[in-house]
Structure 1
Amino acid sequence: MTSLLFGLLLLSSAVQSPPASLDRRLQEPSLVDIDEGRKLNVFCLGEGSPVVLFEQGGEGNIANWKWVEPEISALTRTCFYDRAGFGYSDPPASPVTALSVTDDLHALLAAAEIKGPVVLVGHSIGGFYATVHASRFPDEVAGLVLVDPGFAGQELWRTAEDVRTDLPNIERGEQSLLDCARLGRAGELTHENLQTHRCFPVADDLPPGETRYLLYAVTGPAWYEAEHSQSVNFFSRDEDLSISQRQAEDLGRLREDLPLVVLSAGTPPSSGWRNPERTRAHAEHWHDGHRRLAERSANGRWAVVEDAGHFVQRDRPDAVSAAITDVVLRVRSQAESQ
């Protein structure tokens, strides 16, 4: 199932890289108009083809990729952007769903003149959006790397009792986002009190530009409102699929020969309120969903990355860089053979 190159790179040292710093050019706003004055933040580094575009997860930001950015930017051109409401980007124009996010990305690729097709690298819900984008706009996507991704049907492992346990906790988290949005709108959130208010904290030891970028998002209301809308529309409330997951299910298949790597965390994301038995049931469904994602392409490959939690790019940047390199080289090989 795995190419020799990918296998060798994935088996390389699992030692974590030293703490990384976000490239200074990615710490500053770089806004592109995508829709009558609504702007998204995007910046590209490096040279080469195909372009690799990164899609971060929920509660995510461009800095989530700083452990793999230098290696991939040395390999080919890389682009990083903030979804609407995140980072320096303007708020979304409509509820945050699979279709609205991929509509924005479609507009951004054209407005920023990012030459494609691109390799999309998506983490968590960003992997879900990347998969949706590849289904909706197949001519824009040359390959996919999905890092412990979300997927349509990811909650179908739950029993009725699981739903009764999960839902109050999900709704409590969503209410917290609304509470933080209210504080942000009133100008009451600061670097010093984010943790006290149970809003998104920012570490004290980051470079000034990275700190400024993160604080711009999490001390105002738009980030929390976008997170809330994303959560409400993505997570299922019962045995049925959510709005975003239904949108994904209604789309066509991926291109059959699409170069694709799906990486699963050796320790999948879980919730503290689940007992060990239900945690194991979730982990089995999570990994099975990733295996089935990889099988959507004849060129799909799935690997479990041991010694990694949900943020595989932080815990095992070598594995993520190996997967991206593998897909980039396969895309180049396909282009040369045409």
Structure 2
Amino acid sequence: MDIASIDVGGRRMCAQVRGHGPSLVLDCGGAGQGLGGAWGTGLEDDLAALATLVTYDRAGAGRSDGPQSRTVADMTDDLHRLLRGLGLPLPAVFAGWSFGGLVVQHYALRHPDDVAGLVFVDPTAARTPPGSALVRTLSFAFVSRALRLRALLPTASSRSIRELAGTLAALPRHMREVADAFERGTLPPVPVRVITAGKRPRMPKAQLAHLNSCHQELADGSPHGRLVVAEHATHQIPHEQPEIIRQVISEIL
């Protein structure tokens, strides 16, 4: 795998560019490691046959220099500098899965001229969910702590688990940051698709309603937006129903 290492202001970020045609940027989930088939090797190969495909590791994740960025704005500005360092033809279609959906939302708000289309794959909701903010913060802190303890075991996934733990610890703050950004602006008027999971784990009805409404609202935020349900998939849509992502991205391209 040919990896490019790009200076983004005193740090180096690693990316891979494959394929030909219109530009497509994939942003991965909370661990921040986008290289090495995070979306599924088969799906990424298929997308590289349709477009100039960019995958990358966020700052402080995988092969990219650290530490991890403290804000989503920093993550989007890192990506902005990375794409220019790569010489990628812009505007591009951006696809974000899970936490990557927050990064792509913020990127589109901050750098709208770079964006030709948006695909959100079961994205993390930016709006404040129902329930106690204190309980929510403590819950994320507990999960983050449990992941850090798990990462003490010397396994191949230890580093990605530690990086995911760091993202989850700051997730409530990241969600507020993106929600605040939406208070100041709107998505560019480009095609938008929100792919939502059809299979959900047990959760309170209010939480489920909140997630569903956030996904619908994100799709409705563009005159060219549409919600797509991956009926046979959980949150792991790229691995359980990759064909729906392939179809949607093909339409946007």
- Residue 152 of structure 1: CA displacement? 1.5
Higher strand residue share? 2
Give the distance between the partners of 2:98 and 2:112, measured in 1 at CA. 21
Q: Secondary structure at the match of 2:12?
A: strand
- Residue 112 of structure 1: CA displacement? 1.3
Match of 1:76 in 2: 51
Match of 1:190 in 2: 154
Give the distance between the partners of 1:93 and 1:123, measured in 2 at CA. 18
1:282 aligns with 2:219: no
1:61 aligns with 2:33: yes
Give the distance between the partners of 1:180 and 1:159, measured in 2 at CA. 28
Give the distance between the partners of 2:76 and 2:184, measured in 1 at CA. 13
1:326 aligns with 2:251: yes
RMSD of aligned residue pairs (Cα, Å): 2.4
Q: Please, which runs of 5 or more residues in structure 2 have no aligned partner?
A: none
Q: Give the TM-score taking structure 2 as reference length.
A: 0.88
Give the distance between the partners of 1:180 and 1:248, measured in 2 at CA. 34
The match for 2:188 among 226, 250, 255 is 255
Q: Secondary structure at the match of 2:108?
A: helix
Match of 1:121 in 2: 95
Return the letter of the residue paired with 1:190: P
Match of 2:228 in 1: 303
| Seq. identity, % | 29
Q: 1:297 to 1:88 in 2, by over 3 A?
A: same
Contact 1:152–1:248, Cα closer than 8 Å, also in 2: no
Alignment of 1:1-338 (within 5 A): 25=1, 29-36=3-10, 38-49=11-22, 51-62=23-34, 63-65=37-39, 66-92=41-67, 94-95=69-70, 97-153=71-127, 155-156=128-129, 158-160=130-132, 166-179=136-149, 183=152, 190-191=154-155, 202=157, 217-218=159-160, 224=162, 226-235=163-172, 242-256=175-189, 258-268=190-200, 270=201, 276=202, 278-328=203-253
Q: Please, which runs of 5 or more residues in structure 1 have no aligned partner?
A: 1-24, 184-188, 192-200, 203-214, 271-275, 329-338
Q: Give the TM-score taking structure 1 as reference length.
A: 0.67
Return the letter of the residue paired with 2:154: T
- Residue 180 of structure 1: CA displacement? 6.2
Q: Secondary structure at the match of 1:143?
A: strand
Match of 1:196 in 2: none
Give the distance between the partners of 1:134 and 1:88, measured in 2 at CA. 25
Structure number with greater Rg is 1
Return the letter of the residue paired with 2:169: V
Which string of whole-angstrom CA distances, capped at 9 and with x for unpartnered residues, describes residues 35-79 of structure 1?
12x111101101112x00100011353322223112111111111
Contact 1:99–1:247, Cα closer than 8 Å, also in 2: no
Q: Secondary structure at the match of 1:264?
A: strand
Return the letter of the residue paired with 1:254: L
Which string of whole-angstrom CA distances, capped at 9 and with x for unpartnered residues, describes residues 215-243 of structure 1?
7x44xxxx72x54443233226xxxx854
- Residue 176 of structure 1: CA displacement? 3.2
